[in-house]
Amino acid sequence: MTTATRAEQARRLAERLAADEPLLVEMRRHLHAHPELSGRETATTAWIGQHLRDLGLAPQRLDSGTGLVCDIALGDVGRGTPTVALRADIDALAMPDEKDVGYRSQVDGVAHACGHDVHITAVLGAARLLAAEARTSEVAGTVRLVFEPAEETVPGGAVEVIREGWLDGVSAIFGLHCDPKVDVGSIGCRVGAITSAADQVEIRVSGPGGHTARPAQTVDLVDVLARLVTDLPPALDALAGHENAFLLVFGAVHTGDAANVIPSHGFLRGSLRTPDIELWRRAPELLERAVESVLEGSDAVWSLQHGRGVPPVINDERMTALLVEAVGEALSPDAVVATEQSYGGDSFAWYLERVPGTYARLGVHDPRSSSPRRDLHASTFDIDERAIGTGALVLATVALDALAALHH
């Protein structure tokens, strides 16, 4: 596309977005008030599907019954025209929503505290913009919308999307994730790894049990579990060859009930993360050796369950450059900000193992606010709702730009 064509495209998209923004805010608030857990997103899937059908599109539900995929044909689509994908995840977290707002969760113990409601609305907003461009678009190709279920589970709903063949024929994929560390109106971009590998770990221990008056006559499982919590992370790093090779953090420790009884069973559950994909591949063997070394001589019987999660999200250089250019067109060149690799994991990684693409961070913090920045998964997490339109505009622009670039 010429510079003039791009400028005209940006003007049309911005005008349409301005008309759509009140609706997008309303849509996001509906989703926020009606969250559903991973694999149970039945109402969410139906709601998304209806909005797509209202645009004259034909969404297809995934075989599991939740999540869907929908194509938008742009311009003179024919054999050999490219396909690019835009992805949103649709599930919520098992946690309370403790905000005092009219759109707080109406489902006890379930909340959109990771911003997936925003991701859905941004992709639907992009769909509205692209559908309006479809017949007159100077760019020919297909934009595939992927509404992925169960992202918060391991290994994530991306595996189902790929297994059903929805990435076949896709030449590029793009996604945005809310980031409360970034101000609204900005997009955090990074070439290479932007997230870390993330696995789940469970260690079970057992012994004969006994009386707390005579711990030397049995296996003190409370002490054993405490040693694992404190000594296992540095032991794992030592085997990897350097500090901070892994981030091993336990979120659950269970054993015993009585103050004067040494228990006979206990377990730990936690997450194992690493920014290094090669160390992730070696993690099962290293973790086994580390547990063995920490518990040597304890006489505890132990078992290890290592649930493989996701690799790091590794952004493609060319697709990141396309996104940076699109942000400049849709917002301004100053809207692009650098962002660091995080220890968070995301199933978007599975897409990027098969298709070049990029995953960016959508700024959602209101810089005018005096309230503290609430991190993802906080019970009072919320966003500056101007971010919804920003996300929709950037995704629509990068989809069109990528289709144009892939023709060459």
Q: Which sequence positions are flagged as catalytic?
A: 91, 151
**Please, are residues 178 and 119 in contact by the beta-carbon 8 Å criterion?**
yes
DSSP per-residue string spanning 332-356: -GGGEEE----S---THHHHHTTS-
Torsion sign (Cα): 369, 375, 376, 381 = negative
Taking the mean position of all CA atoms in its chain, how far away is CA 252? 22
CB environment 321-356: b (16+ within 10 A), e (fewer): ebbbbbbbbbbeeebbbebeebebbbbbbbbbeebb
The SS3 call for residue 407 is coil
Q: Which residues pair with 359 in a beta bridge?
A: 175
**Please, are residues 389 and 21 in contact by the beta-carbon 8 Å criterion?**
yes
Q: Which residues pair with 127 in a beta bridge?
A: none
**Please, are residues 72 and 52 in contact by the beta-carbon 8 Å criterion?**
no
Angle at 318 between CA 173 and CA 312, to 5 degrees: 60
Structure token digits, residue 75: 């311009």
Structure token digits, residue 249: 């953090």
**Please, are residues 132 and 61 in contact by the beta-carbon 8 Å criterion?**
no
Q: Which residues pair with 248 in a beta bridge?
A: 272
DSSP single-letter state for residue 217: G
Spatial CB neighbours of 354, under 8 Å, sequence gap ≥ 6: 162, 167
DSSP per-residue string spanning 302-332: EEEEEEEEE---EE-HHHHHHHHHHHHHHT-
